[in-house]
């Protein structure tokens, strides 16, 4: 019993000091996770992962579209929470060949766990052969978002879903 009481006191001290240190979020960008993402029921919000990159970190998400028609890479700087940001997108056929003329692309973002999307209306414009720029994106909630890249061309319609963890920082940490 005595030992138990002493150990408990020590635990309390330990708890106190363990709470204090700063987290050290990694500066590595969220890794690209290609492929389809499950749409869950309204699950409780998950806390941001410790690995969520800090605002300003360069991110590159990419992979192959669901039906395997296209390959795409989405690049942007991790936005501050609730701040407008832009993305740059490169799309090719899955073979690596250039897209057929007249291909169109849209970029959107949703939070499947919360069943909502962005409150803004982004605009996607051609930035070069196989390149698109999207302005007016805004992620107003921290946590898991999924970028949806829809590509349409004579090769067919297909979609990439690219998960991304929005960090909670709205101001520079």
Q: Which of residues 10-39 bind another protein (CB under 8 A)?
A: 10, 12-13, 15-25
Question: Among 94, 138, 148, 150, which residue sits at the site for another protein (rule: CB under 8 A)?
Answer: 138
Q: Smallest distance from the beta carbon of 77 to another protein, in angstroms? A: 16
Q: What DSSP letter does each residue of 8-77 carry, written as one string?
A: HHHHHHHHHHHTSSPP----SPPPP--S-----SSPPPPPPPTTPPPTT-EEEEEEE-TTSSEEEEEEEE
Distances in whole angstroms, Cα of residue 110 to Cα of each of 47, 128, 137, 161: 17, 26, 11, 10
- Which value, to the nearest 10 degrees, does the dihedral of the CA atoms of residues 116, 122, 125, 131 take? -50
Q: Which is nearer to another protein, 84 or 98 (CB)?
A: 84
Q: Which stretch binds another protein (CB under 8 A): 31-39, 56-64, 80-88, 146-154?
A: 80-88
* Footprint (CB under 8 A) of another protein, residues 36-75: 42, 44-45, 47-50, 52
Give CA–CA dist 162/65, Å, rounded: 10
**Residue 64 gets which letter from DSSP?**
E
Give the range of 61-69, 109-117, 124-132, 151-159 binding another protein by CB under 8 A.
Answer: 109-117
* Residues at the interface with another protein (CB under 8 A): 1-2, 5-6, 8-10, 12-13, 15-25, 42, 44-45, 47-50, 52, 81-82, 84, 114-116, 118-123, 135-136, 138, 140-143, 167-171, 173
């Amino acid at each position: 019993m005595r030992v138990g009481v002493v150990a408990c006191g020590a635990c309390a001290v330990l708890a106190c000091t363990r709470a204090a240190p700063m987290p050290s979020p990694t500066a590595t960008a969220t890794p690209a996770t290609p492929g389809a993402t499950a749409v869950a029921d309204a699950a409780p919000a998950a806390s941001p992962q410790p690995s969520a990159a800090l605002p300003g970190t360069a991110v590159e998400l990419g992979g192959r579209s669901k039906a395997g028609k296209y390959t795409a890479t989405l690049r942007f700087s991790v936005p501050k929470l609730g701040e407008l940001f832009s993305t740059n997108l490169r799309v090719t056929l899955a073979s690596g060949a250039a897209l057929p003329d007249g291909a169109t692309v849209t970029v959107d973002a949703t939070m499947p766990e919360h069943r909502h999307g962005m409150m803004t209306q982004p605009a996607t414009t051609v930035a070069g052969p196989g390149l698109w720029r999207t302005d007016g994106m805004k992620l107003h909630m921290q946590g898991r978002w999924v970028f949806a890249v829809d590509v349409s061309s004579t090769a067919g319609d297909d979609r990439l879903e690219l998960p991304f963890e929005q960090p909670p920082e709205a101001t520079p940490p």
